[in-house]
Amino acid sequence: MREIIFDTETTGFDPATGDRMVEIGCIELFNRVPTGRTFHAYYNPQRPMPAAAEAVHGLSDIFLSDKPHFAHGVEELLAFLEDSMLVAHNARFDFGFLNHELRLCGRPEISLDRMIDTVAIARQLHPGAKHSLDALCTRYGIDRSHRVKHGALLDAELLAQLYIELTGGRQIGLGLAQEEAKETVRVELVETAMVRPVRPARVFAASAEELERHAAFIATLANPLWLEGAQPG
């Protein structure tokens, strides 16, 4: 099963008020395993970058000024996404901006049926706990020491690790490894059984001399336990 982990950076919180997407980062998973394929792009938002947003992701007006508009790179993005399920943290936020950009360039929106929200998964697994990406990375021991500022591709990479943890990825891998080990042992046992030489059954019978000595010994016993309660014949 192919899934895409993605994250966005924006000029603010609400596309309805004119905010735009300025960066997207995507990681491809196949059967919960990263394939190494990624997609990453910056976009010129065609509006000034608020200082508060720049403080979060570090993307300035000068840096974005020579970047393409979203409409100029939409084909490449859609080709990477294909029809795969899309995984994001607080996914409605990222879907909202992605679909807003698609609408602006006259493209169909991506159905919310394709949305997987890791915040929703985390709330089911850890009710009452903190569900930010930072907090969950700490909970699952995911190293984020190199994360100085938010970045779409970096956050997508962290989220890919988190998603695998939230969906039991390590345990699944361990189970497969155990099954493979069992199968190897089973094959080795079968092969060993096939080459083991067949030996005749051993006969453990007392000799006449041994039986005579045993009878003499029994005769020396007074009131043996196995005769207690026995009736004379």
Tell the residue number behind the tokens 């929106």, with chain if given.
Answer: 109
Q: Which of 69, 89, 150, 214 is catalytic?
A: 150
* Burial of residue 136, with CB atoms counted within 10 A of its CB: 0-12 exposed, 13-18 middle, 19 or more buried: buried
DSSP 8-state code for residue 31: T
Q: Please count the residues of the chain.
A: 233
User: How many CB atoms within 10 Å of residue 200?
Assistant: 5
- By DSSP bridging, strand 85-88 and strand 2-10 are parallel
C-alpha to C-alpha distance for 112 and 99, rounded to whole angstroms: 10
Q: Determine if residue 9 is labeled as part of a ligand binding site.
A: yes
* Of 90, 157, 94, 144, the residue nearest 122 (C-alpha): 90
C-alpha distances (whole Å) from 168 to each of 61, 214, 228 are 41, 67, 66
Which long-range contacts (C-beta less than 8 Å, at least 24 apart) are formed by 127-135? 133/89, 133/158, 133/159, 133/162
Q: Determine if residue 72 is labeled as part of a ligand binding site.
A: no
Q: Is 89 a catalytic residue?
A: no
Sort residue 63 into left (φ over 0), alpha (ψ -120 to 50) or beta.
Answer: alpha
Q: Determine if residue 57 is labeled as part of a ligand binding site.
A: yes
Share of the chain residues as helix, strand and coil, in percent rounded to the nearest 5: 50, 15, 35
Q: Determine if residue 7 is labeled as part of a ligand binding site.
A: yes
Task: Extract the annotated binding site for substrate.
Answer: 7, 9, 57, 155
Residues assigned a catalytic role: 150
Task: Extract the annotated binding site for a divalent metal cation.
Answer: 7, 9, 155
Task: Extract the annotated binding site.
Answer: 7, 9, 57, 155
